Structure 1
């Protein structure tokens, strides 16, 4: 309901229509949003005292966590506004967010936005996602009789066994087992909160290997969900061929392989351990006056990443 590219950003008629016409008064909302990284002012005496900080601390306009992650992985392309549309940010953990930027708006149903200047200045950002990804793999482990607590050790144990099973059975591992991963609705590109998940191909097998096969096919379903979002973006004006993945999924070798193979994209894993914190640092550095603008901060502070190519034999 805020259109940053227009003179009157707020759509007050909408708020009045839904009974929130007094929101601007009670919420003390400004008429104009501050640009990302803008210097807003110094800490008040009360805030400084409660936070244990100096009143000299500068306060900058920040962003939500996933958008900071997008800056952390896509900030290196801030100076190339025509080429940035080839790159998709995937911030993947409990759930997953995908974000693409372009110099021109690319609106379509099933993806939020486009939002002008919501991450980088003068660029439009389109946002999609999957409501349950890491949380779905956790759920599969808890749900299965051979599972248990879905901690890092259990995920690693399953990944090792899947690798062993694939070494003998190849790409046909659990080929008759199919998982539709919309257990918590479909955020993108169907935008259906009432969608549900499906598991087809179950047998009476309750062994640990059956858990590993179900886990593997769930991971395949998650990766194909990203492919579905990516294809929708490309059908509506984008030309994405590179996927930048950050978050907890980078620690899962199965997902990282699948993201490359399912999408056919080159996958980049950032060298920065926490791209969300890196993006936040870029914003803070801008607000602190260490760089002339956010683009300059992103270009100077980006750290690059490791590249994984897709396997043409598996991408179909």
Structure 2
């Protein structure tokens, strides 16, 4: 059979493609930017047609760089953010924000427009809420669909094919209308372990009885790594591949990262967490039995590996928060070069001041709500200890203390999944933060965990390469493919002295969370008094 596979990872701001051999070696990689529209507060829209064109350009460029013939690519797999794509019965785009052109047909995963609807779903007390950590997040699809039906009924009436972005890409490539088990389970409240996997009583109760008609969701999902068929002729031409190339049922991007990071570790999975850190941060653990932890999503069966239960937590904005700091406080375009410049200056300042650098400057990093462990999408961020310093060094100090806060918030997530005095798990890092040595060391120091970083491969892309190789029939199952294709790693160990220093910052984080709760109670009470 053909000896290579193509993997595609669609993140918040770009589409990445890689060509891998069956040993997991990345031979060529390319990236294309993706546009984002913010038409109003809490809205974030994308153009699925533009995403598809970016995917095609990235695959063509990656194959050129790998110098691999199109006929040698056995299969392609996609992973993507859990964004929601709305199309009509003819497959044409339907806009998702009032007044927007139809091409803006995708609600980005981080969009917060459906907070009211999410709270209403939570208030039902339905058993699926236990799989959301006790509160339905506005990042999930049922609240977004309910918002669309209520706020844009004419557009809802046009909808006939609504899917997660990963399933949209698979449809564009193969024509298959199948839906990935990973996407339906983790974002649509689908429970494959039940005789009737759809919570129809909840769906009817919240006013989405026409869900199936408007979205086209099937009764049953398909397992990750399933062969959905060959590339359609027009897709093969656009991707620069052949019509014999198979298309795999894919995954949400963070979950592909978990597969690439820890999928090869079999019986030792209980001591290893995947840390997928980019725009947001996800911590993922797999187990043989279901675990319910307040403030954490899951447990979800078979979402990453067959027979394994997934539980996940994290921070809704981590890399996005650092970008925000650069933009708002630094007035800069937060590209990789600017982040590197900031981190280099922080290293110089810390060489002079050590842990005393901006010690009175403290950040509560919930600028986009708190995903875990509080499951509070309405939570807000706090910066304490600001001065009138508006120079570059002032930005660097705030950036540093924001990074410290993110690391301490990560510790809180890890502690809830592996409560002390249990042995510290190993954290397998994937995503953009793996390329930031300052963040990586902070994560090790704050959590007290050993981190494993891939030496060569992009682990999220590797996860999709594992999926593609399985669909191609190169391996009997996902676990076998993950073992054969696993990337070599290097270890980052915590510095005990740094861990001790960060204990104070961790206590400050907890105190700031409690202080915010007290202020919110006061503010809410004042609002009620003024309203009366």
Return the TM-score normalized by structure 2. Answer: 0.56
Asked if 1 retains the 8 angstrom alpha-carbon contact of 2:278 and 2:318, the reply is yes
Quick one: distance in 2 between partners of 1:277 and 1:43?
A: 20
Can you give the 5+ residue segments of structure 2 that lack an aligned partner in the other structure? Answer: 1-188, 504-532
TM-score relative to the length of structure 1:
0.91
Distance 1:76 1:240, change over 3 A: farther
Aligned-partner Cα distance in 1 for 2:483–2:260: 10
- Where 2:264 maps in the other structure, the secondary structure is helix
Task: Check conservation: 1:138, 1:150, Cα contact below 8 A.
Answer: yes
Partner of 2:367: 183
- What is the rounded CA distance, in whole Å, between the counterparts of 2:243 and 2:421 in structure 1? 47
How far apart in 1 are the matches of 2:396 and 2:371? 27
Q: Following TM superposition, by how much is the alpha carbon of 1:207 offset from its aligned partner in structure 2, in angstroms?
A: 2.8
Q: Residue 125 of structure 1 corresponds to which residue in structure 2?
A: 310
Q: Tell me if 1:92 matches 2:277.
A: yes
Counterpart of 1:256 in structure 2 is 440
Per the alignment, residue 135 of structure 1 pairs with 320
Q: Equivalent residue of 1:125, what SS? A: strand
Do the aligned residues in 2 keep the contact of 1:159 with 1:253 (CA within 8 Å)?
no
1:7 correspondence with 2:195: yes
Deviation for aligned residue 1:182: 0.7
Match of 1:108 in 2: 293
Structure 1 counterpart of 2:474: 290
For residue 72 of structure 1, what is the aligned residue in structure 2? 260
Distance 1:217 1:292 in 2: 47
Instruction: Work out which of the residue numbers 342, 349, 353 in structure 2 matches 1:158.
Output: 342
* Partner secondary structure for residue 314 of structure 1: helix
Which of 302, 309, 313 is the aligned partner of 2:486? 302
Higher relative contact order (CA closer than 8 Å, sequence separation 6+): 1
Greater CA deviation, 53-62 or 219-228? 53-62
**Structure 1 residue aligned with 2:455:** 271
Q: Aligned partners of 1:218, 1:65: CA distance in 2, in Å?
A: 25
C-alpha contact 1:242 1:267 (8 A) present in aligned 2: yes
Shift of 1:6: 2.4
Asked whether the equivalents of residues 454 and 489 of structure 2 are also in contact (C-alpha less than 8 Å), the reply is yes
| Cα RMSD for the two superposed structures | 2.2
Q: How far apart, in 2, do the equivalents of 1:139 and 1:52 lie?
A: 37
- Once the two structures are superposed, residues 34-56 of structure 1 have per-residue CA deviations (whole angstroms, 9 ceiling, x without a partner) of 11112233345676577665443
CA contact (8 A) 1:269 1:307 kept: yes
Q: Which residue of 13, 24, 41 maps to 2:212? A: 24
Instruction: Report if the CA contact (8 A) 2:470-2:481 is conserved.
Output: yes
Q: How does 1:48-63 map to 2 (within 5 A)?
A: 53-63=241-251
